[in-house]
Chains A and B, each alone.
Chain A
């Protein structure tokens, strides 16, 4: 589709149409393939086509390499995890990447990963032992306390019993029943008592006790003590509240039951000996081992930190290299292998202006890889539609993204972005108009622009990212808002007579009728914008509503006319005269004979000060066009003019509908006649490469489809003319909302606070005013007006000419986004 197009009608303008693109074929010898792709990636101006799309990922040539890169990427992710857990940040590296080799990196990554995994495993083991020892120490302490207290009371009791004559039966069984029992039992009938000590989680302790009691039929004695601070559980590694327990039992069966129940409850058991001396010895031993372990663990952590630091130094470098290599291999997989297996063939889209740079890159790669044969660069002819590429700078890229969000432009159709750069902020400002608020937004966006360099390298949150990305659009919005604020004469809703005194004054010296009949215009019209006298008057709203509604209609009709004129430029560029005669002209006639006429009537009414009712005029133009106009006459011969315009509008509708399908059909037949005698497409004989994506020329032509399409288009336009014009009234609606909100905040908050003559209330009032202004007016209203201005562009402006069914040029480049982790 590249040949038969061409401007010639108008001088070329940046950004108006997509850059001319061409389908290029590169034939690259095997040894320089890797370097070639690498250099082309640095250049960033070629979009490779996938020539191996039928093959599965595993059948492709470089699948093994990609797996390798995938492994390395996994290791790098593991390192990143470990580093973030340990709190080590990767350093920005300034080394050049071409100096490091992928194989070296792979080996190094393998080594480091093995080392890190080993250190982590050791660390875990040591930590577990440490926690167990800590628990053991607590058990020794608490159980020791229990035993010693029981022993003390037992000896005390013994002394008591010895010193008393009378038998004291059944007293104080809780303290030392066992020792008493033991003492009073015959040595022949000694019952072997065992005991177990351990830790049980606090929340399970009651259940634990109960189950033990039931399982052993009450033949046990259990004693629990609470540990005040939470203890780190060895198996889970988290802090938990635990109790120390001592269980006394008799018999092997009871012991096995208790052991099983302990297992079930996750209660850790520790050995404990009754002997006091041994207890003290155990405590000292355990304390010694604990301090030893602590030093070992600290040393291990220190070693790991050093390792992570060394990783962190090179992390960014390796990360970038691995991703780059992976991208290169993915791209190499898209190239097809030539029959002779000596070279790779690549096909891709690239802009015409980049041809020299690409050939340069190919030559450099051939030289650098010491290959004997150079690469071949040739342009292919194809009927496929190329991708769309606009060269934008940081100022225009935001607007282009906004336009692309609706739909990417078809290859070489007119780009609405050109006019949107100005009309979008302008329509926003019409809805936002307040020069005080405009100045606030200007200050905010100037901050973003002045700290551009610093902010672009940081990672901002989602919302800030969007605001930062659109900073130039917001700058334009704020500048236009200041302008429209001056025209609406609103500074935080207060008007000022900045340019001249107000045009209105009292009818007579006493000003008695100012509040009933009103003032009159005594001087020249206020020269710039809205007269300051209007704010706060009773007739402000009727006047302003009428003004703003008419303004919306005028602006809307202008923008829609601009849209239709853009479709004329498209028709001229694509050399489609049927579109000019049977689409552009009927559309212009229809829109302007109705709504253009309405705009003219509005201007005439304003200029002459007539009292004609425009609603009446427009409606009766349709209902009874031959009636006399009477007092609604704005200019002589109005009736005749209206009849002519009505006739033109009615005639233009079938003009839009009927001729185009028939003419297209005739054109198709004419083309088809000569089709069979056209010469064969030239192909390169030495290499049989099929250009993918069908270069078959036989297009289908369904007349009924074309006719229905044209019918829909016509109905859409005719009905859309009314609805789109009415849609522009949102310019009035939002501007009214903004000015009302702003005046409410001013009068009901600030003036009210001022009226109290109290400093505290004044400060409170100012705070509320600031918060309300920033939250409602500067944030919410901005977003609201932004959205509506966007809608006006996307629907009302663009549906007059924009097709937007292209696809965007996505070149192979190494600029990775921050979140890419394949």
Chain B
């Protein structure tokens, strides 16, 4: 559940970012496409990294074993 919600949040943030970039630097169709590509790539990279770390912790095989001093 948490996974899906956060994925949706990433999606929404990505859409908002591309809209912002389109609004503030609108410089012709080819440049806009470049900006859109960059924003989408950045969003996908960030989401992928978050998703990997999240899924890895969903069903852990190793649990934290505290060290002696704590």
Interface residues of A (CB under 8 A from B): 11-16, 418-419, 421-423, 426, 430, 483-484, 487, 503-504, 514-521, 524-531, 533-534, 536-540, 542-543, 546-547, 550-551, 554-555, 558, 603, 606-609, 611
21 contacts between A and B (CB under 8 A): A12-B29, A12-B30, A421-B38, A422-B38, A426-B42, A483-B46, A487-B49, A515-B66, A519-B64, A521-B60, A521-B63, A525-B2, A525-B54, A527-B54, A531-B57, A536-B67, A537-B65, A550-B52, A551-B53, A555-B49, A607-B59
Q: Which interface residue of B49, B54, B59 has the most chain A CB atoms within 10 A?
A: B49
Extra pairs beyond A426-B46, A521-B60, A608-B59 (12, CB < 8 Å): A13-B30, A419-B41, A483-B49, A515-B65, A515-B67, A526-B57, A530-B53, A536-B66, A543-B64, A551-B52, A606-B59, A609-B58
Of residues 21 to 70 in B, which have CB atoms within 8 Å of A's CB atoms? 29-31, 33-34, 37-38, 41-42, 45-46, 48-50, 52-68, 70
B53 A515 Cβ-Cβ under 8 A: no
B65 A554 Cβ-Cβ under 8 A: no
Known A517-B65, A537-B66: A525·B34 in contact at CB below 8 Å: no
- Count of B interface residues, CB-CB < 8 Å: 34
B48 A607 Cβ-Cβ under 8 A: no
- Please indicate the chain B residues that have their CB under 8 angstroms from the CB of A514 in the complex: 65-66
Identify which of B30, B53, B64, B70 contacts A529 (C-beta below 8 A): B53
Identify which of A529, A543, A550 contacts B60 (C-beta below 8 A): A543
Shortest distance from the beta carbon of B59 to any chain A beta carbon, whole Å? 3
- Please indicate the chain A residues that have their CB under 8 angstroms from the CB of B6 in the complex: 527-528
CA distance A409 to B44 in the complex (A): 26
Shortest distance from the beta carbon of A297 to any chain B beta carbon, whole Å? 64
- Please indicate the chain A residues that have their CB under 8 angstroms from the CB of B66 in the complex: 514-515, 518-519, 536-538
- Please indicate the chain B residues that have their CB under 8 angstroms from the CB of A418 in the complex: 34, 37-38
Identify which of B30, B38, B45, B65 contacts A539 (C-beta below 8 A): B65
- Please indicate the chain B residues that have their CB under 8 angstroms from the CB of A16 in the complex: 34
A606 B56 Cβ-Cβ under 8 A: yes
Known A525-B57, A551-B52, A606-B58: A422·B45 in contact at CB below 8 Å: yes
Residue of B nearest to A603 (CB): B55
Shortest distance from the beta carbon of A756 to any chain B beta carbon, whole Å? 17
Identify which of B30, B38, B48, B59 contacts A609 (C-beta below 8 A): B59
Known A16-B34, A538-B67, A555-B48: A546·B62 in contact at CB below 8 Å: yes
Q: Which interface residue of A418, A419, A533, A539 has the most chain B CB atoms within 10 A?
A: A539
A15 B34 Cβ-Cβ under 8 A: yes
Shortest distance from the beta carbon of B9 to any chain A beta carbon, whole Å? 10
Shortest distance from the beta carbon of A107 to any chain B beta carbon, whole Å? 50
- Please indicate the chain B residues that have their CB under 8 angstroms from the CB of A521 in the complex: 60, 63
A527 B56 Cβ-Cβ under 8 A: no
A558 B48 Cβ-Cβ under 8 A: yes
Interface residues of B (CB under 8 A from A): 2, 6, 29-31, 33-34, 37-38, 41-42, 45-46, 48-50, 52-68, 70
Shortest distance from the beta carbon of B30 to any chain A beta carbon, whole Å? 5
B34 A13 Cβ-Cβ under 8 A: yes
CA distance A525 to B51 in the complex (A): 12
CA distance A426 to B48 in the complex (A): 11
Known A15-B34, A419-B41, A528-B6: A484·B49 in contact at CB below 8 Å: yes
CA distance A15 to B46 in the complex (A): 23
- Please indicate the chain A residues that have their CB under 8 angstroms from the CB of B37 in the complex: 13, 418-419
A14 B33 Cβ-Cβ under 8 A: yes
- Please indicate the chain B residues that have their CB under 8 angstroms from the CB of A530 in the complex: 53, 57
- Please indicate the chain B residues that have their CB under 8 angstroms from the CB of A558 in the complex: 48
B34 A14 Cβ-Cβ under 8 A: yes
B50 A516 Cβ-Cβ under 8 A: no
- Please indicate the chain B residues that have their CB under 8 angstroms from the CB of A419 in the complex: 37, 41
- Please indicate the chain A residues that have their CB under 8 angstroms from the CB of B33 in the complex: 11-14
B56 A550 Cβ-Cβ under 8 A: yes
B49 A422 Cβ-Cβ under 8 A: no
B70 A536 Cβ-Cβ under 8 A: yes
B64 A607 Cβ-Cβ under 8 A: no
B50 A487 Cβ-Cβ under 8 A: yes
Residue of A nearest to B52 (CB): A551
- Please indicate the chain B residues that have their CB under 8 angstroms from the CB of A611 in the complex: 61
Shortest distance from the beta carbon of B8 to any chain A beta carbon, whole Å? 13
Shortest distance from the beta carbon of B7 to any chain A beta carbon, whole Å? 12
- Please indicate the chain B residues that have their CB under 8 angstroms from the CB of A484 in the complex: 49
CA distance A555 to B39 in the complex (A): 18
Residue of A nearest to B27 (CB): A14
CA distance A14 to B38 in the complex (A): 11
- Please indicate the chain B residues that have their CB under 8 angstroms from the CB of A554 in the complex: 48, 52
Shortest distance from the beta carbon of B32 to any chain A beta carbon, whole Å? 9
B62 A542 Cβ-Cβ under 8 A: yes
